Structure 1
Amino acid sequence: MNNWSKLCLALSTFISVQAIAQKPPLNHDVYDSWKSIGTANLAKSGKLVYYTITPQEGDAVLELKDQKNNLLLQVPRGNDGSLTSDDNYFISAIKPLFSAVREAKIKKKKPEEMPKDSLLVYNLKSRNTPLKYADVTSYKLARNSREYVAFLAEYKSSNTVDSISSKDSTTASASVASGKGKGKTKSVLHLLHLPTGDTTNFVGVDQYEWSADEKQLLFSKKGEEKDSISVQNAGLYIYSVADQSLKKISQGRGSYKQFSFSEDQSQLSFVAFKGDEKTLSKEYKLYYYTDVQDSARVIGEQTTSGVPQNWWVSGDAKLHFSADGQKLYLGLAPIPRVKDTTLVEFEHAKLDIWHWKDDYLQPQQLVNLKRDQTKSFPAVIYPQSGASIIPLSDDTFNRVITTDTGNEEWVLVTSDFGNRISSQWDIATASNIYKVSTKTGQNKLIAADLSGQVYLSPNAEYAVLFDRATGTWSSYDLINDLKKPLHEGVAVSFVDEENDVPALPGAYGVAGWSRDGKTVYINDRYDIWALDLVGQKKAYSITNGFGRAHKITFRAQELAREDNPRYRTTYLSDKEQFLTAFNETTKENGFYTVNLGKRTADPKMIVMQPKTFRKVVADANMSQVIYTKEDYQHSPDLYMNSIKMDQERRLTDINTQQAGYNWGTAELVHWTTPNGHDATGILYKPEDFDPNKKYPIIAYFYEKLSQGLYTYQAPAPTPSRLNIPYFVSNGYLVFAPDIAYETGYPGQAAEEYINSGMQHLARTNSFVDSTKMGIQGQSWGGYQVAHLITRTNMYAAAWTGAPVVNMTSAYGGIRWGSGMSRQFQYENTQSRIGQNLWEARDLYIENSPLFFMNRVNTPVVIMHNDQDGAVPWYQGIEMFTALRRLQKPVWLLNYNGDDHNLILRQNRKDIQIREAQFFDHFLKGKPAPVWITSGVPAIHKGIDWGLQ
């Protein structure tokens, strides 16, 4: 290279560095404008793609493009988009302006006065200006939609004419259509004919549903009590689209719901309560209708044969026919006791009675009260051949497993009855597994006290069982009552090889099934195995052991979408099966294919990149695919590609503003811990990183994070975790170490991995300022922060969110979000003590930072909120009062009414500012704000936030 070339290279390098150095760091004002891809859908034809681009706060936009990336339509505030099945029409809701909703909230508008959605209809053949309809509350397309969309709108009117079937939308009532008038709100169901734009309108509609073939529209009208015409019109109607005829199939005011058509659309079922809506105890009845009937008839009620005594038909259980139309699945429920409304409330005690024999703790019962009040238990009826209901379970059972079609005789039910109290300390309670006949209702025990999982084969011929106690998979022949092991002689573990909690390891799960239902595909840590349920073929790896040999985790990727939502079983292709791939060593992600017919063939790589892929969807022909792709430096934009991944087209560029800010990089770090363990973590550096400078560093940790090396992290006011891009952009290094644990010593694990990782970075890199190290963690990470500052003074600042500091008091506490006892967490899961408090008192104390707070010399902020549903907030109080008593620098932030992780965005924004101010002061020497120097007294609450 000559001197001129060297000079040019040096100059260009200088200019490049200067350009980076001139970029401003991120600030707290940028969050709202940062965008993400919301829903993303590909037409079954592969010719159209539509997606939403959503800012963190503000108005989203929906875009519709063709496969060549031509923008066909842009819908400001578009949401919930859909295509008709022939791709001729695009339908989308339009949300109100964010500013309008905000203004309405400021004015404390009632729910019915809040701004409502609009509906957009776009003709893709004519490409004319889209049609728009106001005040829409919902819309529905038939599963096989082509020509119609039905949508419900609400209008205010004082004198609505109840016009059942009017072709002209204005004739339903001029005041209704225009939204004028001051009166009660009226709902109008509009049936829009997409080719002509004509509408048929039905006033006063409550619920509605399409038949899958778009030939019938079903809707109910409640009727107003003081309006005689409205009462007369109340009932359930079927509108025939072909001959434009309307038929009332059930008469009377009340509640009609759970509409369900059979697969061939020839049968219809629903439940209805015909009575006073104010009645506390509503007896729903099951109705059945076919077009040969004049009206729907009751086929199920409290007195129907088969319904248990003091039970009735549930109004909350979804109804569905079996695919062959022979069976109708419904729900039964015990008749609830109701309050005596004649009692004077203030004259009676309000209390909860905790009983030691209760299946579930009283707080757990209260948390699940609404769910339990609507809980039902599956049953079946054969509407064409009999009127008897066959219960499939009762209140001693907790799960019923059916096939997608529901045609088969056998279903599986599980029951943990008798073992529920033990869930207080052992969350993995054992269950009995039964097979139940949908013909007779008789059940038979097929597995007792199973701690694990059970699956039903797609043809209901086999149950597939995983037993945590033995770490094995087995099949149970439901027809011949035979149990067989599935992987004898296979020298591979099918349970979590990295399990580091004091509980039996779980399985890696089911990957899918063969179409004939004779083979189940099971994951191990890396590969996928074919296990023959018949027991005639030896288990083999469909990925040929390639994953384990190369430390690549393969998982089946389901690309084809079923139109019918009831079909949810994953079937692996008997030809080319698409797989996701994750390289455990490099953290790269990508896709492979494997041919299930070639047992000795290795998977074939399609693409592997230092990226993360998400939202993967293919068309019906498996020729086109869309996905988002990201890494730390590139936000997740949407791409379209051929199924072979050789024709990639970028569809979006959502965060172009990022280029104007100092961003960062992410790299893997490896080191050896003091006890000789190989360790891994991620080191984040600023984009304008200068190896000759000294940088403050913050460690953020939660279990293992290195698999996220190629994950994008938007600058956002986070619920609790460290806002990594903000700190990196503002001149910090951030370190995210993986942590492995040893039962009984979770605190020591934090020392082993976090401290040694930080020391390794400082020892091997002159740019790390070992005098300016900080740590941040939330929940389990918050506990580790609290522990570390009692064991070392190497950190200049610490931030802990929702920490457990006293395991002896937290052990007996309640997770108020679920109502569950916290004992299981210490004995079997994350806290990893492995024994109860009375067996391991010393370990509980050793791992409780509270008992060692006198050792703390690190300034620490605690965030713990008074509505924390996971960690009782008195844990944060115990830590604060201890350090305050010891006159250690400590601050406690309680975001009133907020949860374990912050929910309210205004609180998330606030904590970002305070966290930055805190670390800037103690790690960069910047002036401290008022809330740090002197706090904010209660008398100034809501007046002064102390941020200045």
Structure 2
Amino acid sequence: MKQLFLFFATFFVAATLLAQQKKPLDHSVYDHWKDLQHPIISDNGNYISYEVNPQEGDGWLYLYKVKTHQLDSLPRGRKAHFTPDGKVLVYTIKAPFAQVLHLERQKVKKDKLPKDSLACFYTESGKWRKFGQILKVAIPEKSSPWIAALMKESNPKKSEKKDNTPKKKTKKPSEKTEKGVLLLFNTATMDSTGFRNVTTFAFSQNGKSCVFSVRPSDTTNQVIVLAFHTGTKKTDTLFTGNAVVKNVAVDEKGEQAAFTFSTDTVPNKAFGLYYVDLDKNTKNLVSGTDFKNLRKGWAISTHGKIFFNKAGSELYFGTAPKPLPPLKDTLAPLEKVSLDIWTYHDTLLQPQQKVELKKEKKRNYTAVYFPKENRLVQLATPQLREVRINPKAKGNLSLGFDNRPYLKMTSWAGQWYKDVYLINRETGKRKRIIRKVSGNAYLSPNQQYVAWYNVQDSAWYAYSVKTGKNINLTKTIPVAFYDVLNDVPNMAPPYGMAGWTKNNRFVVYDRYDLWSLDPSGKQKPVNLTSGMGRKKDLRFRYVKLDKEAQTLPDKMLLSAFQLKNKKAGFYSLQIKNRNPRKLLLEDYAFRTPIKAKKAPVIIWRKESFRVYPDLYVSNLNFSDARQISHANLQQKNYLWGNVKLVQWVTFNGDTMQGLLYTPGNFDPAKKYPMIVYFYERYSNRLHRYYAPRPIRSVINFSYYTSNGYVIFIPDIKYRVGWPGASAYNCVVSGTEAMISRYPFIDRNHIGMQGQSWGGYQSAYIITQTDLFRCAEAGAPVSNMTSAYGGIRWGSGMSREFQYEHTQSRIGGTLWDKLPLYMQNSPLFFVPRIHTPLLIMHNDKDNAVPWYQGIELFNAMRRLNKPVWMLVYNGQPHNLSRRADEKDLTRRFQQFFDYYLKGAPEPKWMKQGIPAIEKGHDFGFETERKKDGQN
């Protein structure tokens, strides 16, 4: 205890002089605090780009030159990409924020607002070129100086680009389609070609061919499909006729293309599919005349992605039953019936069917076309809806998944099961190989094995394609491959899989280390990290630097996280020698590194509570790290708190960890109010940075510590059947431990705040103790007996599963465990509450039924206990509108300041805001408390 107090005292002495020069954060700083976003690095590692954007307003795009350390800034730049040679940074210029805001205030329609512009910045010369308003852009992934962009056409008559589009007159079109100018631009020679009235396009990865559709006139139904070849600068006509073209695809080499089309004139069109050999300019009707090559009554789905495999030997697309004609509305409003019929036969509840209706209408089933053989194979069907295609895979096998037998039980089971099938893509033949898998299944690169985790016996298995046998590969290993901290009444999930090696072994994780498993079961499992993780309390995980790699590299980069002291960093691992080598291990949190494709250069970010996650560049060993961004230098002008990892023993005798944040102007001789926040386990977030910003539902730790608050966040360990008592055991014991350990905490001014699951626990805890001066409960479940059978409106699912098997942790049905449902429900203990409570529960909450907050509010109101409820109209579980977020941020602070700091009581708390004054009076004004009032 003396050492801990000495830490705070020492920190105070060192920071006092600086603190006197600084000011606390206030609500005016939010729009000036910036976010570093979308960092990228060129393939050759010579250039880095990233955005720095304010929370509202115009940001900057930066270009950093690695060799010269030169930094260029581009106003309002975003969505940047380097050309493969790194010589050009292609980006969009966002429309000025003030201009867009002004037009929105004038109620200008969204489609009339200014669009982003396209720009090319030349990294070596510093020159740049700007184009018109952009709709879509494509940059070849392979070496090519060409880019393709679809631009908004503001005035076709004044277009500067040459229009090479053929024009013919035909009949009036049956539907409107957004059109623009397709710009094909050579970034090296500055040559460009433009095509007007383009509706959709696709550009090959090597930049050889661009295929696009054109509708020449709004008064015709004619469509033309063209192919522009960048090498010859010639344009071929692939198709012309009265039709609608939706999807276009080109293979990687720019030698083949495909597009969907329909000649129907009705609103709900049936589409066919053409395959085109671009070199020969020949095409095949894949779907066949009158769709004869497809299932009877089926057509090509425009909602399915059309793509070629890497080799160009297979074309994938989606099929579906032909759309039904639209219903004719011939009834008067009084004659219409609006009805949902719920039955016990339904595999999904009606609310879930409604949530998924849009997705269901777009459902399509994967099929494959073999161009050389002119042959089509239907892979997915209504009986096997999911087939996973790896475009880079070699061999003719894929995995299919069928969850239909288990859909109904998802309402209460807490596990999402599926059967796994092996599918031969050449024949369409399928075989069920695994039943009732919870999680994923992985096909080996040589397609001889399928690996998966079995939750029933907590083991990794492999299925042999040759023998049809399943082999338990981890039964002889004396460590757990499941989450050992799992404390919900459900089977624990695995720690996961890193991937397959080149010699077709697959690598999985235990809590600490990596294990290599032989899927044949002949060779013993190998601990690739030699048990170092377990010995040193390090959690190792593979970091994938090559996003296109199909197998694990011989030399792996591992992330490392020390579970007890929360240090993090990276290790290097040679698979052959199994000896992890430390590269970096510090008191920071690290973001996933990004590697240049063709150079040993990486960019990465590190952060702590006091250090914003700026961007760094280094070699693969992190030995020459250099910070290249400084996004929030203004932080030095503000009071900023500190955080420490703390530990205590609960009432039940468990040793737990938590986080204690102290104020930015900390003086150990003073008394500070404290707010206790919690949600499951939080201590692993010791080094997370929290930018000052309006809140969606949870207090901002940086803001409150800057304004003189201590924040305590305890981890919680749960007992099945007793979630409320478990929270009380950890939260209250931890709070009392902090109060007794640190005299600077004012024990008479302790507040509590929780959202969702944390909101429930806040509501429960105040029925068991008067320790807290005030509390806030966001979207709390107050009555588990009524919430149990409710609906999670965001997914449409029943809430039963979460009480029986997941977060709510009761562990049984309402009729089997009724006493536990009641004993864990705050509503039944409202007479015990003496703590003023603020509730936020929005009327469109998509997770916790709104009536849960209403039940608690009405009960406390009936008993004349201090309670307020904030209901943001039309808002979900967590706020999504910035204006509402700013409003909530201010009300939270006024609530806590009133009870914990003795600040004046605002009008909205003292007397409320009548509905008739809604929007006119926000009630933020305050009156000074009377002397002696606490």
TM-score in terms of structure 1 length: 0.92
Residue 166 of structure 1 deviates from its aligned partner by: 5.6
Tell me, what secondary structure is at the counterpart of 2:477?
Answer: coil
Question: Which residue of structure 1 lines up, in the alignment, with residue 6 of structure 2?
Answer: none
In structure 1, the partner of 2:495 is: 508
Shift in Å, 1:213? 1.7
Work out which of the residue numbers 332, 348, 364 in structure 1 matches 2:336.
348
Counterparts of 2:55 and 2:800, CA distance in 1: 38
The superposition leaves residues 828-860 of structure 1 with CA deviations (integer Å, 9 ceiling, x where unpaired) of 100000101010001000111011111111111
1:60-79 → structure 2 map (5 Å cutoff):
60-68=59-67, 70-79=69-78
Q: Would you say the 8 A contact 2:257–2:278 is kept in 1?
A: no
In the superposition, relative to structure 1, how do residues 40 and 115 fare at CA in structure 2: closer, same or farther (>3 Å)?
same
Cα shift at 1:158: 7.4
| Aligned partners of 2:664 and 2:708 also within 8 Å | no
Relative to the length of structure 2, the TM-score reads: 0.94
Q: Following TM superposition, by how much is the alpha carbon of 1:344 offset from its aligned partner in structure 2, in angstroms?
A: 2.8
Residues 164 and 480 of structure 1: CA distance in aligned 2, closer, same or farther (over 3 Å): farther
Change (3 A) 1:614 1:14: closer
The residue correspondences of 1:241-390 to structure 2 (distance < 5 A) are: 241-276=230-265, 279-291=266-278, 293-301=280-288, 307-344=294-331, 346=333, 347-387=335-375, 389-390=376-377
Partner of 2:57: 58
Deviates more, 1:932-941 or 1:413-422: 413-422
Look up the SS of the partner of 2:905 in the other structure. Answer: coil
User: How much is the aligned-residue C-alpha RMSD, in angstroms?
Assistant: 2.3
Name whichever of 373-382 and 679-688 sits farther off: 373-382
1:499 equivalent to 2:491? Answer: no
Extract unaligned runs of 5+ from structure 1. 1-9, 173-183
Query: Which stretch has the larger CA shift, 864-873 or 450-459?
Result: 450-459
Query: Secondary structure at 1:155's aligned position in 2?
Result: coil
2:855 maps to 1:857: no
Deviation at 1:769, TM superposition (A): 0.9
What secondary structure is seen at the aligned counterpart in 2 of 1:30?
A: helix
Shift of 1:110: 1.6
State the 1:43 CA deviation.
1.2
The 5-angstrom pairing of residues 833-912 of structure 1 reads: 833-912=810-889
Residue in structure 1 matched with residue 100 of structure 2 by the alignment:
101
Q: Report if the CA contact (8 A) 1:284-1:301 is conserved.
A: no
Q: Quote the offset at 1:915 in angstroms.
A: 0.5
Correspondent of 2:140 among 142, 152, 158: 142
Residue 190 (structure 1) aligned with residue 189 (structure 2): no
- In structure 2, what is the equivalent of residue 224 of structure 1? 217
- Is residue 631–residue 710 contact of structure 1 (8 Å, CA) maintained in 2? yes
> Structure 1's 759 and 748: CA in aligned 2 closer, same or farther, altered over 3 A?
same
Alpha-carbon deviation of 1:224? 3.3
Answering whether residue 383 of structure 2 is matched by residue 396 of structure 1, we say: yes
* Further displaced range: 244-253 or 656-665: 244-253
Moved more, 752-761 or 325-334: 325-334
Residue 785 (structure 1) aligns with:
762
Q: Which amino acid aligns with 1:598?
A: N
| Corresponding position of 2:5 | none
Change (3 A) 1:307 1:927: same
Report the Cα distance in structure 2 between the residues aligned to 1:368 and 1:132, rounded to whole angstroms: 42
1:451–1:469: 8 Å Cα contact kept in structure 2?
no
1:576-617 per-position Cα deviation (integer Å, ceiling 9, x unaligned) = 210000000110110001110014x3x110010000111411
* Mapped contact 2:35–2:631 kept (Cα < 8 A): yes
How far, CA to CA, are the matches of 1:470 and 1:878 in structure 2?
Answer: 42
Q: Is the 8 A contact 1:37 1:54 kept in 2?
A: yes
Q: Deviations over 1:292-321 (max 9, x none)?
A: 544533112585566333322212111222
Match of 1:578 in 2: 557
| Counterpart residue number, 2:409 | 422
Deviation at 1:22, TM superposition (A): 3.8
* 1:531–1:918 distance in 2 versus 1, CA, 3 Å: same
| In 1: Cα distance, 2:439 partner to 2:18 partner | 57
> 1 CA distance for matches of 2:910 and 2:576?
70
CA distance in structure 1 between the partners assigned to 2:885 and 2:241 by the alignment: 50
2:566 maps to a residue whose letter is: K
C-alpha distance in 2 between matches for 1:40 and 1:691 = 41
Aligned to 1:175: none
Structure 1 residue 697 corresponds to structure 2 residue 677:
no
Matched, 1:47 2:46: yes
Q: Which amino acid aligns with 1:871?
A: V
CA distance in 2, matches of 1:394, 1:780: 39
**Secondary structure in structure 2 of the residue aligned to 1:435:** strand
Identity %: 36
In 1, Cα distance between the equivalents of 2:322 and 2:239? 24
Q: 1:160 to 1:254 in 2, by over 3 A?
A: farther
Amino acid at match of 2:649: T
Instruction: Specify the SS of the correspondent of 2:845.
Output: coil
Residue 768 of structure 1 deviates from its aligned partner by 1.0
Distance in 2 of aligned mates of 1:640 and 1:221: 44
Choose from 207, 213, 223 the match for 1:214. Answer: 207
Give, in angstroms, the shift of residue 695 of structure 1.
0.8
Q: Aligned residue for 1:604? A: 581
- Pick aligned residue for 1:152 from 150, 153, 158: 150
Inter-partner Cα distance in structure 1 for 2:159 and 2:907: 64
CA distance in 1, matches of 2:27, 2:820: 42
Equivalent residues of 2:287, 2:293 under 8 A apart? no
SS across alignment from 1:850: helix
Cross-structure match for 1:176: none
Q: Which deviates more, 832-841 or 399-408?
A: 399-408
Q: Tell me how far 1:109 sits from its aligned partner.
A: 0.9
Task: Give the direction of change, closer, same or farther, for the CA distance of 1:141–1:263 in structure 2 (3 Å limit).
Answer: closer
Aligned residue pairs total: 908
Structural mapping, 1:447-846, within 5 Å: 447-516=434-503, 518-562=504-548, 569=550, 571-574=551-554, 576-599=555-578, 601=579, 603-621=580-598, 623-846=600-823
Q: Cα distance, 1:217 vs. partner? A: 1.3
Amino acid at match of 1:221: V
User: C-alpha distance in 2, partners of 1:838/1:302?
Assistant: 59
Q: Report the 3-state secondary structure (helix = DSSP H, G, I; strand = E; otherwise coil) of the residue aligned with 2:404.
A: coil
1:85-106 per-residue CA deviation (whole Å, 9 max, x = no partner) reads 1111111100011111111110
Task: Describe the shift of the 1:199–1:163 C-alpha distance in structure 2 as closer, same or farther (beyond 3 A).
Answer: closer
Describe the SS at the equivalent of 2:865: coil
1:434 counterpart letter in structure 2: Y
Report if aligned partners of 1:40, 1:49 keep a CA contact under 8 Å in 2: yes
